[in-house]
């Protein structure tokens, strides 16, 4: 299967799974994934998350708690439609961003390089290969960060999004861990 076919297949799998869950079950599942993450990794002072879209596992409530505990939290942000993705510090309100009105910190928020990045995905395998939304924003940003610093990536997803194997292109940046409501997986490198 091509990446686009796999993307469509795993979106359907995720949608079918999540549509059976109520709001409280979704919230509890996201908290369980965060609990596994915290039990298995020492959280650094700077963490990047994301604003969940559609059926994605939502780290938002935990990001708020980490921020209240003094962590610097960043979210993906774009200065304009053609700008590369950056991580901007999330201190207060979120505003509609230039890409599909996905909420992001307001312009002028400090750009930060996080030590831990929660990465949304459509599918992932046990080697850390992921299929995202298809635009390549995360792959480009992770490659850029990798040239200047060390950081840890965690695919944050539902268990049903884990595939046996996925194709990987030379520019794809594999993940270090996968956090699901059931467990934290250190990927095989």
The reply, when asked if residue 130 is annotated as ligand binding, is: yes
Tokens of 92: 């207060």
Q: How far is CA 187 from CA 2, 120, 130, 156, 158, in A?
A: 22, 16, 11, 13, 16
The reply, when asked if residue 50 is annotated as ligand binding, is: no
Give percent above pLDDT 90 in the chain. Answer: 79
The reply, when asked if residue 3 is annotated as ligand binding, is: yes
pLDDT higher than 90, residue 50: yes
The reply, when asked if residue 128 is annotated as ligand binding, is: no
Q: What is the structure's pLDDT at 116?
A: 98
The reply, when asked if residue 173 is annotated as ligand binding, is: no
The reply, when asked if residue 107 is annotated as ligand binding, is: no
CB 124 within 8 Å of CB 161: yes
The reply, when asked if residue 124 is annotated as ligand binding, is: no
The reply, when asked if residue 92 is annotated as ligand binding, is: no
pLDDT higher than 90, residue 125: yes
The reply, when asked if residue 138 is annotated as ligand binding, is: yes
- How far apart are the C-alpha atoms of 158 and 186, rounded to whole Å? 16
Q: In the predicted model, what is the mean pLDDT of the chain?
A: 93
pLDDT higher than 90, residue 18: yes
Q: Can you give the residue ranges of every domain in the chain?
A: 3-186
Q: What is the structure's pLDDT at 135?
A: 80
**148-178 pLDDT, tens digit each:** 989 999 999 999 999 999 999 888 899 999 9
Residue 189: which pLDDT band, with cuts at 50, 70 and 90? low
Q: What is the topology classification, in CATH, of domain 3-186?
A: Rossmann fold (3.40.50)
**57-110 pLDDT, tens digit each:** 999 999 999 999 999 999 999 988 888 899 999 998 899 888 888 899 998 899
**29-42 pLDDT, tens digit each:** 999 999 999 999 99
The reply, when asked if residue 134 is annotated as ligand binding, is: yes
Q: How far is CA 185 from CA 27, 33, 91, 99, 124, in A?
A: 20, 11, 30, 31, 11
The reply, when asked if residue 5 is annotated as ligand binding, is: yes
The reply, when asked if residue 7 is annotated as ligand binding, is: yes
């Amino acid at each position: 299967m091509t990446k686009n076919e796999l993307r469509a297949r795993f979106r359907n799998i995720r949608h079918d799974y999540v549509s059976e869950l109520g709001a409280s079950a979704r919230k509890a599942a996201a908290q369980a994934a965060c609990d596994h993450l915290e039990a298995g990794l020492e959280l650094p002072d700077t963490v990047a998350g994301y604003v969940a879209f559609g059926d994605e596992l939502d780290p938002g409530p935990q990001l708020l708690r980490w921020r209240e505990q003094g962590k610097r939290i960043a979210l993906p942000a774009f200065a304009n439609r053609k700008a590369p993705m950056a991580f901007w510090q999330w201190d207060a309100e979120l505003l509609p961003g230039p890409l599909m009105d996905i909420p992001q910190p307001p312009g002028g928020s400090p750009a930060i390089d996080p030590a831990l990045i929660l990465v949304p995905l459509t599918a992932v395998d046990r080697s850390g290969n992921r299929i995202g939304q298809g635009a390549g924003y995360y792959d480009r940003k992770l490659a850029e960060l990798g040239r200047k610093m060390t950081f840890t990536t965690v695919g944050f997803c539902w268990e049903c999004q884990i595939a046996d194997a996925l194709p990987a292109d030379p520019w794809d940046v594999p993940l270090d861990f996968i956090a699901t409501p059931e467990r934290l997986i250190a990927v095989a490198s």
